[in-house]
Structure 1
Amino acid sequence: MSHKPSEPCVLSIDIGTSSIRSCLIDATGDIADNTLFAIEHSPTTTPDGGSELDPEEAFTKVCAVIDKSLSAAREYSVLPAAVAMTSFWHSLMGIDHRGKAITPVYLWADTRSAPYVDQLRSEASVDETYKRNGCPLHSSYWPSKLLWLRDSRPELYSQVDKWLSFAEYVQLRFTGELRCAHGMASGTGIYLQREMSWDPFWIDLLDLRENSLPRLTSLREPLGYLRVSDFPWKDLAGIPWYPAVGDGACSNIGSGAFDSSKVAINFGTSGAIRIVVDQYLEPPYGLWLYRIDKDRLLFGGALSNAGNIYEWLTETLRISHEQAEQCLLTIQKVKPGLVFEPYLAGERSPRWRPDATGTIRGLRLDTKPEDIFKAGMLGVLYEFAKVHDMLDNSLGSDDRVTLLSGGAIIKSQALRKALSEVLRRPTMICLEEEPSARGAALLVLEAIGAVKELKDAPTRLVAP
């Protein structure tokens, strides 16, 4: 769909684990023609479970996509009214007193701290921390990562002046301001969801200092302005930069699931099921609760195995895309007795077992690659249905519309059909090309008064 931007519009930056993207989005929620740019990247993984990004390499790529988007935007003679940003949740890195990165960016998928989860369980009440922090003790979050770094790399740990996510590091580099929006902080595991503050229990237990964490801020409060002496974009001089919002929250907003009438499922490399709620609730074990802002929270579950299992199955079994589509169309007809537990990337919701592994049961001499593919993908889809059921049980209703989004969902009609069948719920497909970038832009447009209500920017939805 062709779209030329109108003022006001926002430069929206989306920092993901597989790519970094930017584009110009106006108050209609549409991306301006030719302003979307992306640079792929991939984490460095290690045999012991490491998953890292180099902060300087990633920051250079952020600068590169911004440069391309602004160059394209100049053709319209339209300047962005603000800068929005969304980034992956749960990352952790350390900087020294000069703001220089002295650690890699440790991503949620880094499981090297998994052995320290048991130690935390002996020192902290699992139930109480879940209630306070809205998430379980797990290697995805900061407590176990910080404990691992303190014990295994004490010299490095002592040199860190501030602990932050990559999103705050990017903001610091651009604006000179080190602040963290409540929404980003709420995904760390050391944030008090009710009180909206850092949790003193973890500060004490992990030997942190009060000032070793960023100052918390509202997503409606601009961080400041670009340090134009350090960057070449005169277009952004005097343009306010707003704090980063977690990619899951932005994906919900951008796909049209901005209130409790809709559940959003994202099927990407990993997966998630999320719903926006307007009041605090205690998540049952298996799910989590994060914040978007003071008045909106995000309730849901995360799955470590989704599109990555599709890729592994097709590559390992040497199944073509065409064969995979045919298998998905008849996915319910799995060979009797063949069961594939798809925990190749460990497990988050609902049991939060980072050490979980994939298993196949029921192999026979007549088992074909297509049979294993069906069993594997059915195992993935059943995990989505399991978490969706937990969400409905917690909220006391199952009459919501479920919105499906993600590149795999848009590209594969067979996957859409299979997921809808397994969920046994009314579904709609979100056709928005960049839901996370769109959500970040809409939240900032709302903050500056350009969008009165999020529903004013209609979302493109179709039946599966």
Structure 2
Amino acid sequence: MSSAEHVLALDLGSSSVRALVLDAGAGLRVRALSRRQVRIELRPDGAATLDPHTYVAAVHHCLDELRDAGSLDGVTRVAVASQWHSLLVVDGRGDPVTPVFTWAGNQELCAPGITTDEAERLRLATGCELATLYWTLRVPWLRASGAVPRGAVLVSIAGHVLEALVGRRTESASIASGTGLLDLAELAWHPAALDVAGIATGELPELAPSGEALPGGPTLARRYPQLARVPWHVAVGDGAAATVGSGAVPGRDLTITVGTSAAARLLERRDSAGRLQRGCWRYLVDDETVVTGQAWSGGGNLFAWAQEVLRLPADPDELEALLAAVPERAIPIAVPYLYGPRPGNPAELRSGRWTGLSAQVTAAGLLAGLLDGLGFELRLGIANLEEQAGRPASRVLLGGGAVTASRWWQRRLGAQLGSPHMCLVTEPEVTAVGAAAQAAGLAWTPPLESLAAVPELAGRWDRRFEEYLGAREEAIG
């Protein structure tokens, strides 16, 4: 693509929708950004949902704002990054009949009646264990509640948004790999996984190869004529986009991304990725590349929860100062599972807990303990992925909006994780940048700064890590 071309990147997150215009000739520099908050509703049954009508309206709000500012002029392609694991039931016309069920759900679902060997074969074929996060368990739960009427279709929020904008119902292989239903070797719906989920192929959208571009439709021509004749690339999973946007080299680097949630990931070539070890999942970046990793439901949402419930200041600078002033002896050990487990986490960890509370502990100390707990979980993830790779990581690339917004947390993680080759990815929009780089076929090298572990603190952190592992074992029971 020429250096004068611009990429529009849609970032379909679970806490916000973002639309960014990036300059491909200037290192994917962000030229314009529009953002709209969305709110997850926590239901009594443990499900965490988004309203699909409000969500599509948020996308239109962002696009309208960029259009009215003239920022869509010159856009030559559209890239999409989307939250993985979302599930929405639509009717034959594409109208929603359920809310969007997100990754954050913590509902109790029944395990299917298959053997351990059958479950293991499915895990290795699809990259996904039989867990609450995936459609293999969620769809039977929804069907039992009567929420899947005759003629309905199961889609992701990415598929629904693209249908609303370009008029074609399709699901990218990258997004489909986060459902637990995709055969990673064949790049097709896995028949045995569909049987477990009780899904007929007619209830699913057509599969599009990752990177396929869709033409615009009448909706675009009327409302966004600047985007009607440019290719719309089908969605890539947000974790895959963040890994690419972090500048990871396949097989060499590990990435740690902390946004609303948190994940540790290893980028690998699909044809040379090793056998998937227990505790890890594997999804597609594109048809040639996979990302293997572990994820945690707690991330930046721990900050948001603490600010609201513990009445901590919303001003970032004020909160940073409070965290920096907390004495080490007043930071309790915390197991940070406020939002339940993700695949690879022990299923018993369905709630958080603090140990070592005293009258010295403040609200800021409680938050510091939660963030420390997540750091120790990430330390476990690094060890597991280095075992998966069969070698130590060349670099550990730390990024994501929650981390780039907090110097206190950056320093804390740099000491906790203990990697001598840790770098901070200073680009706050790694997901959008990664999606744009994928769509445009560009190599991406983000700006990095050193964030090595603090040597004199290593012994103390090792002791706290051992204390954390003890508290974690007690929480598992």
1:57–1:309 distance in 2 versus 1, CA, 3 Å: closer
1:266-304 deviations in whole A, cap 9, x for unaligned?
112210111211133332222111011121111111111
Structure-2 separation of matches of 1:22 and 1:253: 18
Which residue in 2 is equivalent to 1:409?
403
TM-score (norm 1): 0.88
The CA RMSD measured in Å over matched residues stands at: 2.6
Which residue in 1 is equivalent to 2:143?
150
Structure-2 separation of matches of 1:108 and 1:239: 31
SS at match of 1:60: helix
Which residue in 2 is equivalent to 1:173?
164
Structure-1 separation of matches of 2:220 and 2:381: 49
Task: Give aligned-pair identity as a percent.
Answer: 28
Which residue in 1 is equivalent to 2:35?
38
Structure-2 separation of matches of 1:99 and 1:269: 28
Structure-2 separation of matches of 1:354 and 1:216: 35
1:98-118 deviations in whole A, cap 9, x for unaligned?
222222111111233x232x3
- Please report how far the alpha carbon of residue 375 of structure 1 lies from its aligned counterpart in structure 2 after TM superposition: 3.0
Which residue in 2 is equivalent to 1:424?
418
Q: 1:191 aligns with which of 164, 182, 185?
A: 182
Structure-2 separation of matches of 1:220 and 1:228: 22
SS at match of 1:265: strand
Which residue in 2 is equivalent to 1:50?
47
Corresponding residue pairs, total: 444
Q: 1:308 aligns with which of 301, 307, 313?
A: 301
- Please report how far the alpha carbon of residue 62 of structure 1 lies from its aligned counterpart in structure 2 after TM superposition: 0.8
- Please report how far the alpha carbon of residue 352 of structure 1 lies from its aligned counterpart in structure 2 after TM superposition: 4.4
SS at match of 1:149: helix
Structure 2 residue runs of 5 or longer lacking an equivalent are: 452-477
1:213-260 deviations in whole A, cap 9, x for unaligned?
122122232122232477411112221111011111111112212533
1:124–1:287 distance in 2 versus 1, CA, 3 Å: same
Structure-2 separation of matches of 1:364 and 1:434: 39
Q: 2:350 aligns with which of 350, 356, 360?
A: 356
Q: 1:202 aligns with which of 184, 189, 193?
A: 193
SS at match of 2:89: strand
Which residue in 2 is equivalent to 1:130?
123
1:414–1:263 distance in 2 versus 1, CA, 3 Å: same
- Please report how far the alpha carbon of residue 48 of structure 1 lies from its aligned counterpart in structure 2 after TM superposition: 2.1
Structure 1 residue runs of 5 or longer lacking an equivalent are: none
Deviation larger for 384-393 or 43-52? 43-52
Q: Is structure 2 residue 238 aligned with structure 1 residue 238?
A: no
1:56–1:371 distance in 2 versus 1, CA, 3 Å: closer
Structure-1 separation of matches of 2:339 and 2:403: 20
1:71–1:127 distance in 2 versus 1, CA, 3 Å: same
1:26–1:204 distance in 2 versus 1, CA, 3 Å: same
Spell out the pairing of 1:243-392 with structure 2 (5 A cutoff).
Answer: 243-278=234-269, 279-320=272-313, 325=320, 333-334=328-329, 338-348=332-342, 350-353=344-347, 356-364=350-358, 367=361, 369=363, 371-392=365-386
TM-score (norm 2): 0.86
SS at match of 1:345: coil
Structure-2 separation of matches of 1:105 and 1:374: 32
Q: Is the 8 A contact 1:332 1:378 kept in 2?
A: no
Q: Is the 8 A contact 2:281 2:344 kept in 1?
A: no
Which residue in 2 is equivalent to 1:26?
23
SS at match of 1:36: strand
Name the amino acid aligned to 2:106.
T
- Please report how far the alpha carbon of residue 324 of structure 1 lies from its aligned counterpart in structure 2 after TM superposition: 5.5
Deviation larger for 22-31 or 359-368? 359-368
Q: Is the 8 A contact 1:120 1:137 kept in 2?
A: no
- Please report how far the alpha carbon of residue 395 of structure 1 lies from its aligned counterpart in structure 2 after TM superposition: 0.7
Structure-1 separation of matches of 2:242 and 2:276: 20
Which residue in 1 is equivalent to 2:474?
none
Q: Is the 8 A contact 1:18 1:40 kept in 2?
A: yes
1:80–1:370 distance in 2 versus 1, CA, 3 Å: closer
Structure-2 separation of matches of 1:16 and 1:229: 22
- Please report how far the alpha carbon of residue 445 of structure 1 lies from its aligned counterpart in structure 2 after TM superposition: 0.8
SS at match of 1:22: strand
Q: Is the 8 A contact 1:13 1:66 kept in 2?
A: no
- Please report how far the alpha carbon of residue 122 of structure 1 lies from its aligned counterpart in structure 2 after TM superposition: 6.1
Q: Is structure 2 residue 455 aligned with structure 1 residue 461?
A: no
Deviation larger for 389-398 or 352-361? 352-361
Deviation larger for 431-440 or 383-392? 431-440
Q: 1:441 aligns with which of 430, 436, 441?
A: 436
Deviation larger for 119-128 or 210-219? 119-128
